[in-house]
Amino acid sequence: MLSCGMPREAGSRVGALIGRIRECFRGLPDARKGGNNQSYTLEDAALSAFAVFFTQSPSFLDYQVRMQKERGRNNAASLFGVHGIPSDQQTRNLLDPVPPEHLAPLLIDTVEDLYRRGELQTHRALAGGFLVALDGTQYFASEKIGCPSCSTRTLANGRIEHFHVAVTPVLVAPGQEAVFPLPPAFVAPQDGHAKQDCELAASGRWLDLWAGRVAPWGITFLGDDLYCHQPFCQQVLRCGCHFLFVCLPQSHPTLYAWVADFERNAAVEVLVVSRWTGKQRLIDTYRYLHQLPLRDSDDALLVDWCELTTTDATGRTIYRNAWATSHTLSAENLLATVAAGRSRWKIENENNNTLKTKGYHFEHNYGHGTHHLSAVLATLILLAYLVHTVLDRLDPRYKEVRARLPSRRTFFEHLRALAQYLPFDTWDHLFDFMLEGLGSATRRARVQPGTG
């Protein structure tokens, strides 16, 4: 019996989360006809792919097949509920016809469950609500491989490149490292727009599908200047949400003409804050105005506008940005509003960068297919990242193991090695085993030579 000290009544949330995932996978539409060879279920194919992304181990399934032959059991079955392990190509063939929309409820339901449990209190921001950042990111590109769902572009060398872009909304908050991915929206060539318009169109479809679910939480959407245009802002407002979008002079000449008028009349409200970073003194100059027209038209949407300029002791500008918002600005909420606007970068740093460089290999071609495979696999990667984030908050054993292995890379190296070579009955069994070993290693490290 292990003696890691973790109370048994705490229980593992991994099993419960994977049980919910397995239930969703069981309902995926199967494109095969009844007469076809159906040795493997669609549920097993989806769970197998998810297991690879969850463990961050491309060879995970191969090791489980070997373990089953040698030991009569395997971790794909005990930890993920996979009844039969299909080959990589069989998995791709089974998942390719599945529209990714069938997986989207898993992400929204998981984050909504956190909200209902009160586990998102650390992420409350403007007016006690939450921030959802929008941004598009490329997750596949090839000059040789393409499918009907690919977008295309002509390169400088004249060749045609096929690529996929997804809008990956995430719940973010200033000062919080954790971000929570929501269902993605995929740019499709039938949108009939240029690349940037495609991102905006995909975000608009996302609002139609999911904004109603999150609007009661008190949502403010964040985005770059691409989103700061009247039709999209009005769509956000119709959904019962707020917006806080980057607002640049070159794309909003009417609004900035009004700003210039207020400047000439010395009517721009200004707030100056000095702060010490620990290394240097910085001056933050905030400016804000109310009820400016977003465009040059009689029906122009009126927005509040704010700007932050940060200078060092020599007067050199080291940061400047501006935003348009549906929130009413005041001296009391100005700093919080700007902090919220600046947290938009978390979708790049904590979400997209993590997905691409921290073991998830979001841009790797795990399989492209001819229909939806690329989007389905991208959604499963996002789901794995979300489950890891949730476990960091809710699962006592997972949190304790992560605390003792704070490096993400080291944690997954340990997880991969153990899951490849040793069979475990449950996730509790695996985490208790890790905690026992890590506890022993910690004790050994504390014993100095000659004192043990």
Q: What is the pLDDT of residue 452?
A: 41
Contact by Cβ (8 Å): 362, 378 = yes
- pLDDT > 70: what percent of the chain? 92
What CATH topology corresponds to 101-356? Answer: Transposase Inhibitor Protein From Tn5; Chain A, domain 1 (3.90.350)
d(C-alpha 428, C-alpha 397), whole Å: 7
Question: Where are the domains positioned within the chain?
Answer: 8-99+372-445, 101-356
pLDDT tens for residues 231-290? 999 999 999 999 999 999 999 999 999 999 999 999 999 999 999 999 999 999 999 999
Question: Rounded to whole angstroms, how far apart are CA atoms 6 and 435?
Answer: 9
Give me 44's structure tokens: 């097993």
| For residues 384-411, average pLDDT | 93
Q: Which of 143-152, 237-246, 415-424, 430-439 has the lowest mean pLDDT?
A: 143-152
- pTM score: 0.91
d(CA 335, CA 366): 43
